[in-house]
Amino acid sequence: MGETDAVLIGRARSGDRAACEELVRRTSRLVYARLYLDTGDAHSAEDLLQETYLLAFRSLHDLMDPAGFRTWLLTIARRAGVDASRRDARLKRAPPAASDTPLSAIPGAGPSPEEEVQRDELRQRVLAVLRSLPEDYRLPLTLRYIVGANAEEIGAQLGLTNGALRGLLHRGLKMLRNRLPSEFDG
């Protein structure tokens, strides 16, 4: 860890690339989790993640309070998500680019299409439940299960201590279990 976030932000403002990269390492999974929650799609989440950081470092000087960095970053991520969906909406009006080979003609390497569709459906349902949770609970859970981070990483990404994280995880997991559909029980 070494330096605190505030120090890193100060260095990043003066153009220190290493500090920027360290900030990215500390927060990218959190932002990714958030974006995945919003979009429900891993690829677009990653694209948006890059865009978010580009925007963030360009307007880093506008950040008033270094302590609010994560919140600010997530706000940018949300705006990026909103902009992206707006752009997609515009693009949909244009006809899709013609491809030489229809995607259906390529045989899938993973599980069978039916299975995949089922899993996707299930994922969307879980995501819907996660979205319905309060912000404080859903981010640790998203990080834990969707991003696959362990407790230490979650703490680093959220900037929380282990004790605080435990409480959040405990209550979040309980809420999640209560709201999840029946097939997750037992």
Partner 1 sequence: MSDHAQFQELIAAAVADALTPEEYERLEAHALECQACATSLANARNLSGKLGSLFAAVRPGPALEDRVIQALRAAEMRRRVQSGWRKKLAVGIAASALVGLTGAGVQRLGDVSELPFANPLRLLPGQAGEAPAAHGLGEEWAASVAQFGRGPVDRQPSASGGDQDAANMAADLGERLRAVLPQRGEGRSAAAITEQPVQQLNLGEAPGSASAARNAGSYWSGFNSVFSAPIKTFQGSLDASTSQSYAPNSLVIEEGRGSVPAAGGRYGQFPAQADPSFAYVKPSDMKPEQPRPEAQRSGGESGLGGPGGKDDGKSPLRGARTVAEGKFPEQLVKPAAPAVPALPEVPVPSAPSKPEAARPHKIVIRCGEMEFEVESFDSAVAAVTRLVAGIGGAFVDTVNSEKLANGKVKGSVVVRVPPDRLDVFVLDLRKEIGKAGDLKGQRIGSRDITKEYTDLESRLRAARAMESRLLAMIKDGKGEIKQLLEAEKELGVWRTKIEEYEGELRYYGNLVALSTLTIALAEREIRAAAALTECERVQAGVEVDDVDKALQQAVTAIAESKGRVTKSELKQLAAGQFNATLNCELAPAAAGPFRDRLNQLGRVARLEIDRVQQSEGGTFSREAKVTRGDTQFLVQFYNLANVAPRETTTLALAVADVPAGYQTLREAVGRAHGRVIASRLEEQDRQNVTAQVDFEVRRADEPAVQAALAGAGEVVARNVTRAAEGDNLTDAKVLFRTALVSAARVKPRETVTLALEVPDVDAATAVLGAQVEEAKGRTAGAQAARERTGRVTARLLYDVPLSAAPSLVEKFKSAGIVRVQQSAGDPQAPDGRFATARLDVTLSNADLIVAKDDGLWPQVRRGLSLSVAVLLMSVTWVVFGLCVVLPWAAVGYGGYRLFRRLDPRPVAPPPAAGTSV
> Residues 110 to 139: which contact partner 1 by CB under 8 A?
110, 119, 122-123, 126, 135-136, 139
What 3-state DSSP class applies to 47? helix
**Is 177 a residue that touches partner 1 (CB under 8 A)?**
yes
**Min dist. Cβ of residue 3 to partner 1 (A):** 17
Extract the tokens encoding 25: 């390492």
Quick one: which of 7, 79, 113, 128 contacts partner 1 (CB under 8 A)? 79
Binding mask 39-78 for partner 1 (x = CB under 8 A): ---x--xx--xx--xxx-xxx--xxxx-xx-xxx-xxx--
CA-based angle 161:41:94, to the nearest 5? 145
Q: Residue 182's CB: how many other CB atoms inside 10 A?
A: 6
Quick one: which of 25, 113, 117, 181 contacts partner 1 (CB under 8 A)? 25
Q: Pick the closer one to partner 1 by CB: 8 or 80.
A: 80
How many residues of this chain bind partner 1 (CB under 8 A)?
Answer: 73
**Is 20 a residue that touches partner 1 (CB under 8 A)?**
yes
CA-based angle 82:93:106, to the nearest 5? 95
Helices 42-58 and 69-93, axial angle in degrees (round to 10): 120
Q: If you ran DSSP here, which 8-state letter would residue 108 be given?
A: P
